[in-house]
């Protein structure tokens, strides 16, 4: 990744949601190192503040932290104000969570909350940021999709559906906004070592570290529709791509069964 070019194309500031850990934190660290001022959003104020202070001290950048529940519609107005203050030119929408398990045992409130955060809130943020970036004449948007976005997957049906929404949103926005100077990319990784698996109650094997996600994604921004960071992600993506959709669903359902098998013992 050419940090100087990235900053020239999308600076001076970036907004990262879900920044308190995992992939969001990894993007925040990568962008601070590239010289971006930052607006960091997440629910956990203590972790967010520690990260903001660390990045400011290490890289000499200005970091504003917003402790927000992004599923609350009012959070969009607070983000919009920060975007104007910092002149944000790059948006990384990494906030979100997943669930797993039998559809017969799921918590309906959790599933609806996931749709609200992964889809509604992200769409609201993306649409507002798109208008801001078009007005300033340039910008970049990174939306977190998933390997599961390209087919239905049992035992994670709702989560996979939310990521299909994100993938479709990124693809459509890319076509529409590219002529107006705004680049959009979907990042669709496979298993990643972060807090995601614990919250989703999944046991992942072969996961890549979260810090492996930002650099190849940012390198591909403006060049490709979808980034697939990590060797395992590329291997799985391209081997599955040649199969019918139903076959892909069956293969990934088998993989999901293995990652959630421990849940049977709890029941």
Question: What is the per-residue pLDDT across 177-186, written as a single tens digit (0 to 9) for each?
Answer: 999 999 999 9
pLDDT higher than threshold 80 for residue 150: yes
> Is 178 marked active-site?
no
Is pLDDT above 60 for 200? no
With a cut of 90, say whether residue 33 has pLDDT above it: yes
Distance CA(151)–CA(168), nearest Å, equals 12
Task: State how beta strands 63-67 and 88-93 pair.
Answer: unpaired
SS3 state of residue 201? coil
Tell me the CATH architecture of domain 3-266: 3-Layer(aba) Sandwich (3.40)
One-character DSSP codes across 56-106: HHHH---EEEEE--TTSTTHHHHHHHHHHHHTEEEEEE-------S-TTT-
CA angle 177, 142, 64 (to 5 degrees): 110
pLDDT tops 60 at residue 109: yes
pLDDT tens-digit readout, 119-131: 999 999 999 999 9
Helix (H) or strand (E) holding 112: helix 108-115
With 70 as the cut, is the pLDDT of residue 228 above it?
yes
Tens digit of each residue's pLDDT (9 = 90 or more) over 41-94? 999 999 999 999 999 999 999 999 999 999 888 898 999 999 989 999 999 999
pLDDT tops 80 at residue 114: yes
249 pLDDT above the threshold of 80: yes
φ, ψ for residue 241, nearest 5 deg = -60, -25
From the list 159, 211, 234, 238, the catalytic residue is 159
Residue from 163, 238, 258, 266 carrying the catalytic annotation: 163
**pLDDT confidence band for 257 (50 / 70 / 90):** confident
Which segment, 94-103, 150-159, 191-200, 234-243, is predicted with the most confidence on average?
150-159
The torsion region of residue 177 among left (phi > 0), alpha (psi -120 to 50) and beta comes to alpha
Q: What is the pTM of this model?
A: 0.91
Residue where the block lists tokens 């990174």: 142
Predicted confidence band at 95 (pLDDT cuts at 50, 70, 90)? very high
Residues whose CB is less than 8 angstroms from the CB of residue 133 and which lie 6 or more positions away in sequence, other chains included: 89, 91, 139, 140, 141, 177, 181, 182
Mean pLDDT, the chain, integer: 90
pLDDT of residue 202: 58
Confidence check: pLDDT of 198 > 90: no
- 139 confidence band (pLDDT: 50, 70, 90): very high
Per the annotation, the verdict on 131 as an active-site residue is: no
With cut-offs at 50, 70 and 90, classify the pLDDT of residue 22: very high
Domain ranges of the chain: 3-266
Q: What average pLDDT does the segment 13-26 reach? A: 96
Whether the predicted pLDDT of 258 surpasses 80: no
Average pLDDT over residues 163-189: 98
Highest-confidence segment of 34-38, 154-158, 201-205, 259-263: 34-38
Taking the C-alpha atoms of 184, 88, 134 and 147 in order, what is their torsion angle to the nearest 10 degrees?
10
């Amino acid at each position: 990744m050419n940090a100087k070019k990235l900053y020239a194309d999308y600076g001076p500031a970036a907004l990262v949601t879900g920044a308190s850990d995992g992939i969001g934190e990894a993007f925040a660290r990568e962008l601070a190192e590239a010289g971006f001022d930052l607006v960091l959003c997440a629910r956990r104020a203590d972790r967010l503040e520690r990260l903001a202070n660390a990045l400011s001290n290490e890289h000499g950048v200005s970091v504003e932290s917003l402790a927000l529940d992004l599923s609350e519609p009012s959070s969009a107005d607070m983000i919009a104000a920060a975007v104007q203050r910092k002149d944000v030119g790059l948006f990384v929408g990494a906030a979100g969570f997943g669930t797993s398990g039998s559809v017969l045992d799921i918590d309906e409130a959790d599933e609806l909350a996931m749709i609200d955060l992964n889809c509604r809130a992200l769409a609201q943020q993306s649409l507002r940021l798109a208008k801001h970036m078009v007005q300033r004449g340039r910008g970049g948007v990174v939306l977190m999709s998933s390997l599961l976005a390209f087919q239905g997957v049992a035992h994670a049906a709702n989560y996979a559906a939310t990521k299909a929404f994100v993938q479709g949103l990124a693809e459509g926005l890319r076509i529409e906004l590219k002529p107006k100077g705004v680049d959009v990319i979907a990042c669709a990784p496979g298993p990643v070592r972060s807090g995601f698996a614990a919250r989703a109650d999944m046991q992942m094997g072969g996961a890549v570290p979260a810090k492996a996600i930002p650099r190849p994604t940012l390198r591909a921004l403006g060049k490709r529709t979808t980034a697939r960071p990590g060797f395992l992600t590329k291997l799985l993506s391209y081997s599955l791509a040649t199969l019918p959709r139903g076959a892909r669903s069956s293969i990934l359902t088998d993989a999901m069964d293995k990652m959630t098998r421990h849940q049977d013992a709890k029941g």
